[in-house]
Amino acid sequence: MLEAQHLTVSYGAHRALEDVSVHVAMGEICVILGANGAGKSTLLKAISGMVQPMPGAHIAIDGHSINDEKPDRIVEAGLALVPEGRGIFGDLTVAENLELGAYGKRGRGGRAEKLKEVLQLFPKLAERERQIARTMSGGEQQMVAIGRALMSNPKILMLDEPSLGLSPLLSSELFKSLRLVRDNGVGILLVEQNAKQSLAIADRAYLLENGHITGEGRAEMLANDPAVQKAYLGGAADKATHRRLDEGGSRRSARFAPALSRGGLGANDLVARASRIHSDHIETERHRGLAGETRTRAHAEAHENLHTHSRERIIMSDQASELSQQAADYANRASAILKAHVAAQRKAWASEGRPALEKPKKPKKLKKSKKPEKSKKDKKSKKKTRKSRK
């Protein structure tokens, strides 16, 4: 079991956490819900030893204190963290990333069995063991990050925003995988922006606001709490509102009431109409070369090119720009590697006394051979033949 009590963390004058206490049992999923800036990531960093809490804090795993321990010693104690942004080694293969997860003493024992479990949990990784991690999709990279953490054979697994940037389909697969990890007896402390899906798989939950724990309880209880639904489950509240509007209840909104009475439109029709208007607005903005109100003019100019001949506007997406930058980085890196290899080869040859490589010399042009001079006898014979012809 993980126990963290009276955690207080400050960044300069800013107090990120104030007397926070949480606990996670083995084979349990515990989720931390909170808005951006509430202190969720700081909580995970304080537990994993990446941030030093103020005096008075107590952190223990199975009763053994890990206060003031370095992060590598905390991993050896049975705690693993999957940070926000995955933090994988992009230039290494999938297999190499997983092997690094078992680098510590705790992960070396039964490494082959643990690797087999990870590949069974994420079959896609088994198919792409030799693939460079950087070239994988976001969901596959998240699998690599979780698999690497599991290779350290942890008792408690902490994850910071694992579904960030993933599609709804990949997010669902990810949460199913976390259930399987929980069923294997690993405790999970989860910080997640998707409150609905995280509460669906969690056993318990904490509410964190402005560095303070404001609520705690069973996940089912919090999921049905009206205040939690309003703060974190906006979709559930919207569905309830749509249901009341369709039923024609007494709580019909004054803004929608005239439209419903005049045109006989239901809530679903209004929602569909609003969605179409919103889609048309976004499409118009895209044609103008804008990505939203927050996009600066400099950012827009960097991602838009005007075709000078046809005057057709060509817009380069952020993804295309990123891929172009990555291609340039790969080219520069390949050039640097080639230069280093040539320099090392020349140095090795110089130490062996071998001549260094020189630029090939241009072949000399062959001089035209002079015709052999004719002898005096030949000249006289030619003169006689000419006279005889005359």
Residue spans of alpha helices (H) in the chain: 40-47, 71-76, 94-101, 105-108, 111-121, 123-127, 138-150, 168-183, 195-201, 219-223, 226-232, 234-247, 257-263, 267-287, 297-303, 318-351, 376-389
**Residue 30's CB: how many other CB atoms inside 10 A?**
22
Cα–Cα dist 273/251, whole Å: 21
> Looking at residue 240, what is its pLDDT?
44
Token pair 């998240």 in the structure block, residue: 142
| Entry pTM | 0.59
Q: Give the strand order in the sheet containing 156-160.
A: 79-82, 156-160, 187-191, 29-33, 204-209, 212-218
> Looking at residue 103, what is its pLDDT?
84
pLDDT truncated to tens, each residue of the chain (390 aa)? 899 999 999 988 888 999 999 999 999 999 999 888 889 999 999 999 999 999 999 999 988 999 888 988 999 999 999 988 878 888 899 989 898 888 888 878 788 888 888 988 888 888 888 889 889 888 888 889 999 999 888 899 999 988 887 888 888 888 888 999 998 899 999 998 888 888 999 999 999 988 999 888 898 888 888 888 887 776 444 444 344 334 443 333 333 333 333 344 455 555 556 556 656 655 665 555 544 444 445 444 544 443 334 344 444 556 566 667 777 777 788 888 888 888 887 887 777 776 555 545 556 666 555 555 556 666 667 666 766 665
Q: Where exactly are the structural domains of the chain?
A: 2-232, 288-345
Structure-token pair, residue 332: 């520069």
Q: For 159, what's the count of Cα atoms within 13 Å in the CB-facing half-sphere?
A: 30
The domain made up of 2-232 has a fold known as Rossmann fold (3.40.50)
